[in-house]
Structure 1
Amino acid sequence: MVDAPVVTVRGEAYREVPPELARFTVTATARDRDREATLTRLAERAAAVRVLLDAEGPAIDRRETGDLRVRPETARSSERVVAWHGSVTTTVAVTDFTALGELMLRLADQDQVEVAGPWWSLRPDSPVHREVRHAAIADALARAREYAEALGARVTALVELADAGVERPMMARMAYAAGPGAGDGPPELDLDPQQQTVQAAVQARFAISTPVLG
């Protein structure tokens, strides 16, 4: 018995969609010759950051505090401590982009606070990923049918389907813009959410009917 002929194709899909999350980090720092004074200042600055974040309510999707560091600064060629450095970083994920720039500026306006970001992304469970995978499978089936029709045949069955990889490059783009009356009021920060590229690819093998050649 002759095995049914098989056509092997690659299906691909590509989408550009708006981001769903923006992440940024807030780092409060302190330095003093006295260790206790350093820790006290660090705690006060971290608490001020927390108060500002608490005021945002549901606009903040998630926040995590980590990377607490306290280290001594020593004199050259000596273990004598001349100062203490402390820092604590909070990672914030925001879903409301309309207030993002204002929030980042308010945080950056705090004493000895550094703000970095934003980094744009989709949620891990975003339905966009599923939609793109389905589109890649549909593309593979369409290609297989085109090849089969060119041979005077038709697709009869799926033999094998494999994920050929998914790429989701995430980039950040930030722009600063001074609003009307710049210098007379608080600065304004306009952020341009970076479109997210979502790609999916599959390898598929389809059985086809006997081609009509000649």
Structure 2
Amino acid sequence: MTTPQPSPHPTPEAPQVAVRGEARLDVDPEIARIAVTVSARGTDRAATLSDLTRRNTLALDLVKSYGDAVEKLETGAFSITPEPGRHGRGERIRAYQGRVHLTVELTDFTALGELTTRLADLELTRVDGPWWALRPDSPSYAEARRTAVGEAVQRARAYAEALGTSLAALLELSDTGLVPPPAAGGGLRMAFAADASDTPPPLELEPQLQTVTAEVTARFTMAPPAL
């Protein structure tokens, strides 16, 4: 025997209710990203490149020394740019400017402040960040979806009870929006003098809460109310 399926069109025998469910969760971040820019400048191209290579190696070795606290380390753009002379004719080069950009992603926020300070203390090295975030597969997203669906069911049930009836079947459930939190942070920019005699104390960085929102729409049939 085939079970009759509810009609997608409302009828007096199967009235429908359409509702929206929303969720907004404030959760702790799971990762923090910092951007590291290593620089070198000099009048000789080979010497500038050598200085850049040495400083980049120091920065990489320092990051790697933090082991499992670092989830991801990536090298981005590299550049060595000649700077032409300000006066005179021809192609006279005044200096060379070299840069390497690194991106570091950490999960241990206790180590974050110390690593950030130590990186900024390296010669001609700049640090930007941190940017707080959730992982793409964070359980917080699933929790937001469940909360939004639960609110939709609760809201539809409240409407049905107001009519003295109850929900009968779910016709449609649509995910109208799961909004990940925007990248937060980036207010920090650090660089210390190359001749600093003492390493500055570690920064105390407070993780910034991440807001995850979800929204669904749902349609239910109801048992006919006695109006």
TM over 0.5: yes
Show CA shifts across 1:143-191 (max 9, x none): 000001111121111111111112222322778xxxxxxxx97323110
How far did 1:79 drift?
3.7
Distance in structure 2 (CA, Å) of the matches to 1:117 and 1:61: 16
Q: Which amino acid aligns with 1:138?
A: G
Aligned pair in 2 of structure 1 residues 155, 78: CA closer, same or farther (>3 Å)?
farther
Structure 1 position 172 matched with structure 2 position 185:
yes
37, 46, 60: which one aligns with 2:56: 46
Distance in structure 1 (CA, Å) of the matches to 2:107 and 2:217: 35
154, 166, 170: which one aligns with 2:166: 154
Map 1:11-22 to 2 at 5 A. Answer: 11-22=21-32
Aligned pair in 2 of structure 1 residues 57, 169: CA closer, same or farther (>3 Å)?
same
Structure 1 position 61 matched with structure 2 position 71:
yes
Q: Give yes or no for contact 1:173–1:194 (8 Å, CA) kept in 2.
A: no
How far did 1:78 drift?
5.5
Q: Which amino acid aligns with 2:185?
A: A
Q: Which amino acid aligns with 2:20?
A: R
81, 100, 111: which one aligns with 2:112: 100
- How many matched pairs? 207
Unaligned runs of 5+ in 1: 176-183
SS of residue matched to 1:86: strand
Map 1:123-202 to 2 at 5 A. Answer: 123-170=135-182, 171-172=184-185, 186-202=200-216
Show CA shifts across 1:27-54 (max 9, x none): 1001111111111110000000011012
Identity across aligned pairs (percent)? Answer: 49
Aligned to 1:118: 130
SS of residue matched to 2:185: coil
How far did 1:120 drift?
0.4
Structure 1 position 209 matched with structure 2 position 223:
yes
Show CA shifts across 1:2-36 (max 9, x none): 56211110001111111110000111001111111
Distance in structure 2 (CA, Å) of the matches to 1:144 and 1:124: 31
Unaligned runs of 5+ in 2: 1-10, 189-197
Aligned pair in 2 of structure 1 residues 78, 168: CA closer, same or farther (>3 Å)?
farther
Aligned pair in 2 of structure 1 residues 38, 2: CA closer, same or farther (>3 Å)?
same
Instruction: Please identify runs of 4+ aligned residues in structure 1 that moved more than 6 A.
Output: none
Q: TM-score, normalised by structure 2?
A: 0.85
Aligned pair in 2 of structure 1 residues 185, 78: CA closer, same or farther (>3 Å)?
closer
Structure 1 position 36 matched with structure 2 position 66:
no
Which moved further from structure 2: 4-13 or 185-194? 185-194
SS of residue matched to 1:23: strand
Aligned pair in 2 of structure 1 residues 105, 148: CA closer, same or farther (>3 Å)?
same
Q: Give yes or no for contact 1:23–1:117 (8 Å, CA) kept in 2.
A: yes
Q: Which amino acid aligns with 1:187?
A: P
